[in-house]
Homo-oligomer: A and B are copies of this chain.
Amino acid sequence: MPTYTPPLRDMQFVMHELLHVMDDLQQIPKHAELDADTVNAVMEEGGKFASEVLQPLNLSGDMEGCRRDAASHAVTTPKGFKEAYRQYIDGGWAALACDPDFGGQGLPLVLNQMFYEMLNSANQAWTMYPGLTHGAYAALREHGTDAQKQTYLHKMTSGEWTGSMCLTEPHCGTDLGLMRTKAEAQGDGTYKITGTKIFISAGEHDMADNIIHLVLARLSDAPPGIKGVSLFIVPKFHVKSDGSLGARNGIFCAGLEEKMGIHGNSTCQMVLDGAVGTLVGQPNKGMQGMFVMMNAARLGVGNQSLGLTEVAYQNALAYAKDRIQMRALTGPKSKDQAADPIIVHPDVRKMLLTAKAYAEGGRALMTFCSMLLEKEHYHPDEKVRKDSGEMLALLTPIVKAFITDNGWTATSGCLQVFGGHGYIKQTGMEQLVRDARINMIYEGTNTIQSLDLLGRKVLSNNGATLRKFGKLIGQLVEEEGVNEKMAEFITPIAILGDQMTKFTTEIGFKAFQNPDEVGAAAVDYLRVAGHMVFGYFWARMAQVALKEIASGNTDTFYVAKLQTARFYFAKLFPETATAMRTARSGARVLMDTDAVFA
């Protein structure tokens, strides 16, 4: 059975020693009174909920899966899920970072992100039930009417009601402009919505009294394509004016998908049969609200794979120390035993360090992004809000695609550490790999993320935001350029930073002549950009560690951080060499393939 220990020490390191989040938070009026002790105490309690309540339900939830009763359309979640959700509400966890106007605790988003990392480590499938609520909450809060907010946000904040995002249809996923679900105005401000949605995570379940579906549909007079899509709230149960539940609405679960992983989460085919909903935002502008949900969700998906990477690492490390098999290549290490623990083998260490370096690099980036999100929404200075939003827009596809690709590599490597035992369900490793696979697909496939990064976030503003990130690297190079001890960390990112400018310009120039060059280079480009960003954070983590060691701090945490940074730059960062080369080889070899694909 897998285990999980919340990585509180590393979380504190990232928050307080690397990013100094309290300094930033204190500039934001609503957090001015918050102190680090409170933050750490909340994380400690959150970690207990994750490791003690959720983690023990992960393997059993995978084995059992969800069930649907055909007659009632009711979905039953795995044993213990409902009770754990009750504890989650009772503990106030749903309300952690929500708006106090609706009963939220108003704590910083960074706490919610770290809390969710732990939930994801413990049980990704369970965590998707409350997780989906956040996206719906954010869209309603930003685009809903006062009446809608009053009707729904209190119960969504408390967690008594959950949310869902109903976008995909059988014939359209990436291309939402093809959508067919129809909404007809009833003349009373409501709409009757009819259509079929698929792949609706948490679309139906037994954990909450009501489910607030955010549904994309097309008004009868809508223009064709993506510009004719509107967003609606469709509650499972209507809500009466006194807030109590009314009649059942015409939206129900017509089937559950059988999937590779996340078995504990219900993936529903949802049928809307004249379901009554109200419009969110303007007619035909549904994508605005959708993007609020989607951007939050993309960060959330990166966080899912961060959580999986961390827990895979912890379990593979424990196994590698415990499992004895063969002798070290340099001669016996555990002479009193019949063989050495497999952690003596270089390649076992490589697989472990890969997961560790990706987890800790991912945590630094995620946390940096949570602070950008906080500042984008709540910083008193408009310029800070704008700059934060832009930087976050650049980094979001990297969080989503780079961390989830890394999570796939890392969880698979951690499975490999277990040898044949990793392939067996009971050790829990193969579940992590299966669960990790969806994160590369949903909320925009990783190919779509790479096109978003290169096409929309980089080339469309001629690399302006990218240069801002380059400035952060430049600052670090300036600070540490003469520090010999930092050279091994600074040199590679300084070189890559310079290369990126040329590389980006080259692709931009080629794309001007042939738009397929963007599509051909984008995935490789995202890998390079991801390492630029991870390289920056790993260099900064090494900087902090070196300073602590120099000042006489004997906590081995800092030595470990330094050793992991060295590993990262030696074994993972060089992926950029191949990725730049393959990106440069261009679109021709992909597109001049008429005979292959005839």
Residues of chain A whose beta carbon lies under 8 Å from any beta carbon of chain B? 63, 168, 171-175, 178, 198-199, 257-261, 317, 321, 324-326, 328-330, 338-339, 343, 345-350, 352-353, 356, 408, 412, 415-416, 419-420, 422-426, 430, 433-434, 437-438, 440-442, 445-447, 450, 514-516, 518-520, 522-523, 556-557, 559-560, 562-564, 566-567, 570-571, 574-578, 581-582, 585-587, 589-598
Contacts and interface: CB of A to CB of B under 8 A. Distances in A.
B425 A441 contact: no
B515 A329 contact: yes
Contact of A424 (B178, B258, B325, B589): B258
Given A424-B258, A519-B346, A571 B595 contact: no
20 contacts: A258-B425, A259-B424, A321-B597, A346-B587, A346-B591, A347-B450, A347-B523, A350-B520, A412-B437, A416-B447, A419-B441, A420-B441, A430-B437, A556-B595, A560-B595, A560-B598, A563-B596, A564-B596, A570-B586, A571-B589
Given A174-B419, A556-B598, A578-B578, A347 B425 contact: no
Nearest to A572: B582
B595 A420 contact: no
A174 B587 CA distance: 44
Contacts of A415: 437
Contacts of A559: 594-595
Contacts of A556: 595, 598
Contact of A423 (B425, B438, B447, B514): B438
A574 B578 CA distance: 6
A339 B339 CA distance: 60
Nearest to A568: B589
A433 B437 contact: yes
B175 A326 contact: yes
Contact of A430 (B172, B260, B426): B260
A178 B591 CA distance: 54
A556 to B, nearest CB: 4
A512 to B, nearest CB: 12
Q: Which of A426, A557, A566, A595 is the most central at the interface, judged by chain B CB atoms within 10 Å of its CB?
A: A595
Contacts of A425: 257-260
Contacts of A591: 346, 349
Residue among A199, A329, A516, A563 with the highest chain B CB neighbour number at 10 A: A329
Given A571-B589, A595-B563, A419 B347 contact: no
A589 B567 contact: yes
Interface centre among A261, A353, A423, A575 (most CB of B within 10 A): A423
Contacts of A441: 416, 419-420, 422-423
B350 A523 contact: yes
Contacts of A563: 589, 592-596
Of A408, A556, A596, most buried by chain B (CB within 10 Å of CB) is: A596
Given A257-B424, A329-B516, A437-B430, A347 B522 contact: yes
Contact of A350 (B63, B514, B590): B590
Given A347-B450, A570-B589, A574-B585, A514 B597 contact: no
Contacts of A574: 578, 581-582, 585
Contacts of A557: 595
Nearest to A555: B595
- Most chain-B Cβ atoms within 10 A of its Cβ — which of A348, A415, A582? A582
Given A347-B523, A420-B168, A356 B596 contact: yes
A173 B518 CA distance: 47
A581 B590 contact: no
B416 A519 contact: no
A348 B523 CA distance: 11
A261 B171 CA distance: 29
Contacts of A438: 423
A532 to B, nearest CB: 15
Nearest to A578: B578
Contacts of A518: 329
Nearest to A442: B420
User: Which of A589, A591, A592 has its CB near the most chain B CB atoms (within 10 A)?
Assistant: A589
B346 A520 contact: yes
A585 B560 contact: no
Contacts of A422: 441
A171 B325 CA distance: 8
Contacts of A522: 347
A546 B498 CA distance: 41
Contacts of A596: 353, 356, 560, 563-564
A549 B593 CA distance: 16
Contacts of A325: 172-175, 178
A439 to B, nearest CB: 10
Contacts of A575: 578
A197 to B, nearest CB: 12
A520 B350 CA distance: 8
A573 B416 CA distance: 24
A408 B424 CA distance: 18
A459 to B, nearest CB: 12
A546 to B, nearest CB: 14
B329 A519 contact: yes
Contacts of A445: 416, 419
